[in-house]
Chains A and B, each alone.
Chain A
Amino acid sequence: MDVSRRFFLGALAAAPLGSALTGPTRGERSSCSTCALPESRAGFARALAGRDAAGVLVFPGAAGWDDTIERRVRGGRLVIFESASGFAEARALREQRAGLQDAFGLRIDYPVTVWGQGRRPSYLDLGWPVRAHIRDFSFAVPVRGGEAVGWLGPLPVAALQRAGAGALLFLGSPVGPALGSGDPQAHDWLSSVLAAALSLGRRKASSSP
């Protein structure tokens, strides 16, 4: 197969972060979610470097959808799906919408411009696994369904949906940039997410025959 450097780098940027990178992926059908926010990817990568991220898979700054997510979640992973639909084409949002609805029953809406119409909310309030107060990132994707775990003012923009042995954590307001710029609350929150994923993995192991 003729793979150009540009194609290779594009595919690399779209790859999820986490332990699943080491797992077998050949033969998996995927519409290949792309990353529309490279700095979010860099933020997560930096924050995850050298840490035990077993059981966690991150799709940072995702535009579009990846058909393998449902299987990965049901198989026991905690998948962090961070939407960057506010920075992507409309088609990417449509894909994401259909994927989240079909696989997890989550309904997402059009991205809202957080700073439009004189609004100045400026902070995302996350409530799971620990509370964290993190700067917004200009656009946010409202979500309904699952357990609401993050809000911009009154607007739910993050949700946790358990499925099979794992869970999907949908982030409609990007957290990666705050990780990249060293926000301590964002780092504490990620540490708690990693710990939650480990306990999810232990539960899965103890329930296996």
Chain B
Amino acid sequence: MKKSIGDNMFLKEWGFDKGLALVKKAGYDGIELWLGATPWFTLETTDAQVRELRRKIDDAGLVVSNVSNSLDWDRPISSRDPRVREQATRHITRQIETAQILGTDAILVVAGIVTEETPYQEVYPRTVEALQKLAETAARARVKIGCENCCSEQRFLMSPREFKLFLDDVASPWVGLHLDVGNIHDTGFPEQWIEIHGPRITRVHVKDVMRHRGRCGNESVYTNLFLGDNNWKAILEAFRKVGYDGWLIAEMEARYRHAHDQQFYDTAAAMDRFISGQL
């Protein structure tokens, strides 16, 4: 397995170049780019500018693990408003285009958001329909769409079996699961998700979670690897069982308050321990 981390973890004052250098120095193999989350990669970023980003990544000795986006929460493909759905289709299509330029074969989307206003029974068919259309674009580009399991935040597809039925309904080999092992909280166990989804897993986000604490104000339930309640040994065994040997991408929501760059080193070291099975 290979290690990656998101450019959305760079401090604003670092900029892209300094952040990239840190990622390399800390020992990662790749970088996850977040469309819409940073000033260097937005919907206005041209193809030429994306190529320039790739050149810098190549020069740093890294590769792009995947392209994610931070736009789905405000512009979901499950919106009641067809105009918002059109915007969502546009930014996901742009993800696919930039993934090709950046030389990666996977993107992350948050597919479908249930709210009190937009109920589950509407979100499900709309999301399936939208993904079936996007799958055609993805197939042509040979880029896989990984739908992330943001279970509690999305209030959608809460169990691994439910997620499997959803992917069955989308029915495209170009749409799979971008598994976040920290997002499952107390509604399940990531190792069971891994066994159920196996070859449909496109990429993996790693972070740890304190299952029983719940959110309290701005306090996060997420924490650094090995500090939470995930059973990392079981997770590793499950990856081995299904033959997942792809990217692990650090997505640390809880950030260091001091020596911010230290989190990059510590997380890389923890990921090395995980990959090598020294648990």
B161 within 8 A of A: no
Number of A-B contacts (CB under 8 A): 28
CB-defined contacts of B81 to chain A, threshold 8 Å? 87, 138
Cβ-defined contact, B121 with A37, below 8 A = no
- How many residues of A sit at the interface, in one of the four size bands? 10 to 19
Interface residues of B in 32-91 (CB under 8 A from A): 80-83
Cβ-defined contact, B117 with A87, below 8 A = no
CB-defined contacts of A115 to chain B, threshold 8 Å? 116-117
Interface size on B, residues (CB 8 A): 12
Cβ-defined contact, A177 with B122, below 8 A = yes
Cβ-defined contact, B125 with A181, below 8 A = yes
B173 within 8 A of A: no
A162 within 8 A of B: no
Using A39-B82, A120-B116, A181-B122 as known contacts, list a sample of 14 further A-B pairs with CB atoms less than 8 Å apart, ordered by residue number in A.
Answer: A37-B82, A39-B126, A87-B82, A87-B83, A115-B116, A115-B117, A122-B116, A122-B117, A137-B80, A138-B118, A177-B80, A177-B122, A180-B125, A183-B121
Interface residues of B in 82-121 (CB under 8 A from A): 82-83, 116-119, 121
CB-defined contacts of A181 to chain B, threshold 8 Å? 121-122, 125
Cβ-defined contact, B117 with A138, below 8 A = yes
Which of A38, A39, A122, A183 lies at the interface centre, i.e. has the most chain B CB atoms within 10 A of its CB?
A39
CB-defined contacts of B119 to chain A, threshold 8 Å? 135
- CA separation between A135 and B122, bound complex, in Å? 11
Measured CB to CB, the residues of A under 8 A from B are 36-39, 87, 114-115, 120, 122, 135, 137-138, 177, 180-183
**Can you spell out 5 A-B residue pairs with CB atoms less than 8 angstroms apart?**
A87-B81, A87-B82, A120-B116, A137-B80, A181-B121
CB-defined contacts of A37 to chain B, threshold 8 Å? 82
> Residue on B with the closest CB to A180?
B125
CB-defined contacts of A135 to chain B, threshold 8 Å? 119
- CA separation between A81 and B125, bound complex, in Å? 25
Main secondary structure of the interface of A (DSSP, over half): loop
> Residue on A with the closest CB to B84?
A87
- CA separation between A115 and B79, bound complex, in Å? 14
- A115-B117, A120-B116, A138-B117 known; A38 vs B122 contact (CB < 8 Å): no
- A115-B117, A120-B116, A138-B117 known; A36 vs B82 contact (CB < 8 Å): yes
Closest 10 CB pairs of A and B: A181-B121, A115-B117, A138-B80, A181-B122, A87-B81, A138-B117, A177-B122, A38-B82, A137-B80, A135-B119
> Residue on A with the closest CB to B115?
A115
Min C-beta distance of A147 to chain B, whole Å: 28
CB-defined contacts of A177 to chain B, threshold 8 Å? 80, 122
CB-defined contacts of A39 to chain B, threshold 8 Å? 82, 126
